[in-house]
Amino acid sequence: MKRNLSDYIVAISVIVCSIVLLGALTIALSGYRLKKPKRTMQINYEDVTGIKVHSEVRYAGAPAGRVIAMRHLNAAERASSTNKKDAVRITISLDENIPALPVDVTATLSSDTLLA
């Protein structure tokens, strides 16, 4: 009788640990963050080919944050934009340790490939 009880305890422990591990893995792979980003920035682009939510943002070549949202600009936003060709608004979150960005900073898109 005692052996059966220990078998149940081991089985339940394995199941609970598996569920906890699966939950942690799901959260890690989905990119979910427990705390809200404190520094966000919105940037309008004509074309965002290759960029997606959770893409890495770099500042001076070093990781500086993540893309947290993407959406198409509506007609009114496109009309009020300085560049009439802008079609997509990207929202990025910046890490807290990144210094304040200068007013004249320019955001560019590039891809990480073996050739570039």
Whether the pLDDT of residue 70 is over 90: the answer is yes
**Does pLDDT of 77 surpass 90?**
no
Q: What pLDDT does 12 receive?
A: 94
Q: Tell me the pLDDT of the chain averaged across its residues.
A: 85
Residue 1 has pLDDT above 70, yes or no: no
pLDDT number for residue 28: 80
Phi-psi group of 41: left, alpha or beta (phi > 0 → left; psi -120 to 50 → alpha; rest → beta) = beta
Instruction: Kindly state the average pLDDT of the residues 20-44.
Output: 82
**d(C-alpha 105, C-alpha 87), whole Å:** 20
Check whether 16 has a pLDDT greater than 90.
yes
Which three-class secondary structure state does DSSP give residue 20? helix
Q: How many CB atoms neighbour CB 7 within 10 A?
A: 10
- 11 pLDDT higher than 80: yes
Nearest CA to 90 out of 39, 53, 36, 35 is that of 53
**92 — pLDDT class (breaks 50, 70, 90):** very high
H helices within the chain, ranges in order?
Answer: 2-30, 75-80
Whether residue 2 has pLDDT greater than 70:
no
Query: How far apart, in whole angstroms, are the C-alpha atoms of residue 77 and residue 86?
Result: 9
**83: closest CA among 51, 43, 40?**
43
* % of the chain surpassing 70 pLDDT: 89
pLDDT at residue 58 above 70? yes
